[in-house]
Amino acid sequence: MSQPQNFKTIITSDHKLFDLHLKETFQYRDLIFLFVKRDFVALYKQTILGPAWAVIQPLLTTVVFTIIFGNLANLTTADIEGNLFLPSFLFYMSGNICWAYFSTTLQGTSNTFLANSATMGKVYYPRLVSPIATALSKLIAFFIQFVMFLCFWLYYILRGDTGISITPMLLLVPLCILQMIILSVGCGIIISSVTTKYRDLAMLVGFGLQLWQYGSPIAYGLQLVPDKWMSFYMLNPISPIITTFRYAMFGFGYFDLSYYIYGWGVSLALFLIGLIIFSRIERTFMDTI
Amino acid sequence: MRMEEIMLKIDNVSKKYVLGQLGGTTLRDELQRFSAKIHGREDPTKTIGTRDYNKGETFMALNGISFEVKKGERIGIIGHNGAGKSTLLKLISRVTAPTGGTICLNGRVASMLEVGTGFHGELTGRENIYMNGAILGMTKKEIDAKIEDIIEFSECRQFIDTPVKRYSSGMYVKLAFSVAAHLDSEIMIMDEVLAVGDMAFQKKCLEKMSDVSKKEGRTILYVSHNMNTIRQLCDRVIVLDHGIVAFDGNIEEGIDIYMGIQAGEALSVEYNLQTIPRLYQFGEHLLITRFRFLNKQEPVYYSEEPIIIALNLTSKINLEKVNVVITIKDSSYNKIGMTLSDDFSIYQGKNQMLTLKLILDTLSPGMYCLGISIISIYDNKEHYAYDDPGTKILFEIKDKNYPDIIWHKEYWGNVRFPNMQFVNSELLYP
């Protein structure tokens, strides 16, 4: 009685390693958009200042950094030796907005399965939708902050008493942003996959990020790092991203092609590993969460 | 034929869970356990004095089930707690993956969300409709086309632009249901969602569901413990028991089988009622100790056969005038009626056996359940119950063929009253 029939969806127990549901995720783009909207709208509901908070946070952090690390601790804000003048305020702000994006995205995506388990336990949608939406909603905040940064940047350029210049390297900025997205989402989904079984990593994320920040050139310039430690220091994939971002924005600074390519390599590798683990875990995470 | 198209094919599907502590432990525990195992020491994470008897054992929530569902069928899935109903729905809706076997789907699956899942309190009703619809796989365009219908159906128009955190739980459900009901999915999954919401809305939902199923040929999988809603909505039931399909087919038969499974010792002829814990004051003064269906291997009665039962009683006080009440319920424990015995007396310290004949020839074929109580009736016709063990005693009426008509339980229920009599019949001229 059952004539051979083509079924649209077939669910079995076996799983192909590279079955990442990317096409399906694309079909759910409306959901991604709505999640982004939800994350962003809900964040600033019942606040007086609203999205202005996106600006206030990095602004205050930058002021504090400028006072504490710049004026009190007197840490260098130069990435290379030289006498081109870079306002420390702008230096700290460039590092802060990048780090803020990286850390909030990593933290948000590392929570994907735990935070959405109620919905995900009831209904299927491509699970990748959630981390993508997180990354995009944080990106909106980043762009608001980036615009603020551009205002200060333009102000210092127009003042003309700094070493900042506009160079073709500026074209690297979008690449840096893309790399930040890939790296933070990659790390985030790896952590979120592992935390479905072991909650330890969820504990680690918060202060791990804090420690990571001290290992990255955000509160100090690269000059502070001794030359013999440099290759070790640059193993941290976020370091080349931030120094390159600064080099692109200011027209001078530290840029090493091999570290830059290494950074891309690590980011892409982590992202790919993340996707594979994530799509493997998402099938049965409800049983272990 | 279009309607013959198979929408869902479950082929030898199983799902295995590992028992004991496994998920949710910390990495440290796991490492400690691992190192202890290597060094041959006792597991340091184990609670002292416990034997991990089910550690690492597995549990088959589903154990090789197979069935097919055609387009437009409305399937009720029933079974006791832990039979695998929810696991099955989880596999079909792809929340988790099967351990073995294949599930073939021909179309989109929409699961009805539990109260408020997928809702965000800060967003308005309208925004949540879009959210919820998108979670269920609709595109923005599809929702745009249906938003008015959805709002209308939800009865929440007045509050649609208010954040849903201010909604009552009933409104939550109404909104969630409305979104799911307007989905263009070919297969709909409902897991006891109608439990909340007022009666009128429940009825509206069931009608809407059978309506879309009949008109648009949508396939519905409905899990519920409420047999009445199963009867209203479904046209086929699947009974699951311990992870296997115990029955697949006609609704009434399925419900009877499910009730039999649920009773555990299905269809026993003898019940020891002495030690069964009683509610309230029951059994304090007078105790029903034993119940039997007499002259039977199993309590199955054919056509007009009378039902003879025996009751053993023991009393701590003298009672001059008491009566036996037998209540009859259908297989889903809906009350059908009662029958009262003549008066009898029982004296302090005495054991007594009563043999009674029940005349239940108005009952249609099917599975029934009877309850016993001993009462005394006051002068004002109110009564006082001395004992009611509360045990559900199952019996079956089988192969009863009416000479004049085939009985349809779904239309007429359980009782056939004596035929009507013509008082008069005359021709009327205009």
**Residue range A157-169, pLDDT digits in tens:** 998 888 888 888 8
In the three-class reduction of DSSP (H, G, I as helix; E, B as strand; rest coil), residue B286 is classed as strand
B82-124 tens-digit pLDDT:
888 888 888 888 888 888 888 988 888 887 756 556 788 888 8
- Phi–psi pair at B176, nearest 5 degrees: -60, -45
- Checking if the pLDDT of A102 tops 90, the result is yes
Choose the mutation target among B60, B94, B106, B166 for the interface with A, i.e. most A CBs under 10 Å: B94
**pLDDT value, residue B21:** 55
Residue with token string 């009898």: B344
CB A270 within 8 Å of CB A187: yes
pLDDT higher than 70, residue B48:
no
Local structure of A75: helix, strand or coil: coil
Nearest CB to A200: which of B28, B122, B127? B28
Whether A120 has a pLDDT exceeding 70, the answer reads yes
Distance CA A189, CA A280 (A): 11
Rounded CA gap, B27 and B30, in Å? 5
Helix (H) / strand (E) element for B260: namely: helix B251-262
What pLDDT, in 10s, does the model give residues B57-71? 678 888 888 999 988
* Number of inter-chain CB pairs under 8 A, A vs B: 128
What does the mean pLDDT of chain A come to? 87
Share of chain A above pLDDT 70, in %: 97
Query: In sequence order, which ranges of chain A are alpha helices (DSSP H)?
Result: 22-27, 29-43, 52-65, 88-109, 112-115, 117-120, 129-159, 172-195, 200-214, 227-233, 238-250, 257-281, 285-288
Give the list of residues 6+ apart from residue A143 with CB closer than 8 angstroms, or none.
none
pLDDT for B295-334, tens place per residue?
888 888 886 788 999 999 999 999 889 999 999 998 778 8
pLDDT digits (tens, 9 = 90+) for A187-202: 999 999 888 878 778 8
Cβ count within 10 A of residue B343:
12
Query: Which among B23, B113, B130 has the least Cβ separation from residue A122?
Result: B113
- Residue bearing tokens 């994939």: A237
Residue B279, SS3? coil
Mean pLDDT of chain B: 82
Contact flag B105-A28 (C-beta cutoff 8 Å): no
- The single-letter DSSP state of residue A127 is T
Give per-residue pLDDT as tens, B366-420. Answer: 888 899 999 999 989 999 999 998 888 888 888 667 778 888 887 888 888 888 9
**pLDDT tens column, B134-163:** 888 888 888 899 899 889 888 888 888 988
Q: Which of A179-183, A285-289, B37-41, B221-225 has the lowest mean pLDDT?
A: B37-41
Residue that wins the pLDDT comparison between B208 and B148:
B148
Q: Which residues pair with B337 in a beta bridge?
A: B328
Domain boundaries, chain A: 22-288
Strands B270-272 and B366-377: unpaired
Confidence of residue A59 (pLDDT cuts 50, 70, 90): very high
Burial of residue A134, with CB atoms counted within 10 A of its CB: 0-12 exposed, 13-18 middle, 19 or more buried = buried
| 3-state SS, residue B90 | helix
Q: State the DSSP code for A66.
A: I
The 3-state DSSP class for residue B376 equals strand
Residue of B nearest to A117 (CA): B117
Residues paired with B58 in a beta bridge? B18
Q: How far is A102 from chain B (nearest CA, A)?
A: 25
Say whether residue B122 is in contact with chain A using an 8 A CB cutoff: yes
How long a stretch of residues is chain A? 289
Looking at the complex, does the CB of residue B111 fall below 8 Å from at least one CB of chain A? yes
Task: Out of A177-181, A182-186, A229-233, pick the least confident.
Answer: A229-233
CA torsion, points A10, A12, A15, A19, in degrees to nearest 10? 10
| Nearest CB to B114; choose among A2, A122, A286 | A122
* Interface residue of A32, A34, A114 to substitute, partner B, most B CBs within 10 Å: A34
Alpha-carbon distance of B234 to B228, in angstroms, equals 10
Q: Which residue of A has its CA nearest to B89?
A: A122
pLDDT of residue B299: 86
Please tell me the predicted confidence (pLDDT) of residue A22.
83
Confidence (pLDDT) at A52: 85
| Rounded mean pLDDT, B3-16 | 83
The encoded tokens of residue B189 equal 């999954």
Distance CA A248, CA A267 (A): 19
More confident residue, A109 or B183: A109
Kindly state whether B123 is in contact with chain A, defined as any CB-CB distance less than 8 angstroms.
Answer: yes
Contact B167, B159 (CB under 8 A): yes
Q: Quickly count helices (H) and strands (E) in chain A.
A: 13, 1
| Chain A residue numbers touching B184 (CB-CB < 8 A) | none
Smallest Cα–Cα separation from B325: which of B285, B370, B290, B363? B370
Nearest CB to A7; choose among B26, B104, B123: B104
Sort A80 into a burial class: Cβ within 10 Å, 0-12 / 13-18 / 19+. middle
What was the pLDDT predicted at A2? 44
Question: What are B162's two structure tokens?
Answer: 């208010």
Is any Cβ of chain A less than 8 angstroms from the Cβ of B101?
yes
B88 to chain A, minimum CA–CA distance in Å? Answer: 12
Interface contact flag, B95 A123, Cβ < 8 Å: yes
Which residues, including other chains, have CB under 8 Å from residue A86's CB and lie 6 or more apart? A77, A78, A162, A163, A164, A250, A252
* pLDDT score at B52: 46
Residues sharing a CB contact under 8 Å with residue B308, sequence separation 6 or more, in sequence order: B293, B294, B295, B355, B356, B357, B358
| Nearest CB partner across the interface for B68, out of A2, A8, A122 | A2
Q: How many CA atoms lie within 13 A of B350 on its CB side?
A: 10
- Indicate yes or no: CB of B113 within 8 angstroms of CB of A38: no
Query: What whole-number distance in Å separates Cα of residue A50 and Cα of residue A39?
Result: 13
Q: State how far the Cα of A206 lies from the Cα of A149, in Å rounded to an integer.
A: 26
Query: Per-residue pLDDT for B338 more than 90?
Result: yes
pLDDT at A185: 95
Residues of chain B neighbouring A42 (CB-CB closer than 8 A): 120, 122-123
Cβ distance B93 to A124 less than 8 Å, yes or no, reads yes
Phi, psi of B6 (to 5 degrees): -85, 125
Tens digits of residue pLDDT in B242-296: 888 888 888 888 888 887 766 555 578 888 888 888 888 888 889 999 999 988 8
Whether chain A has a CB inside 8 Å of the CB on B50: the answer is: no
Angle at B47 between CA B44 and CA B51, to 5 degrees: 105
| Share in percent of chain B as helix, strand, coil (round to 5) | 25, 35, 40
Residue A41 scores a pLDDT above 60: yes
Query: Cα(B146)–Cα(B148) distance, rounded to whole angstroms?
Result: 6
- Contact present, A105 and A185 (Cβ < 8 Å): yes
Of B24, B99, B135, the CB nearest to A31: B135
CB B163 within 8 A of CB B156: no
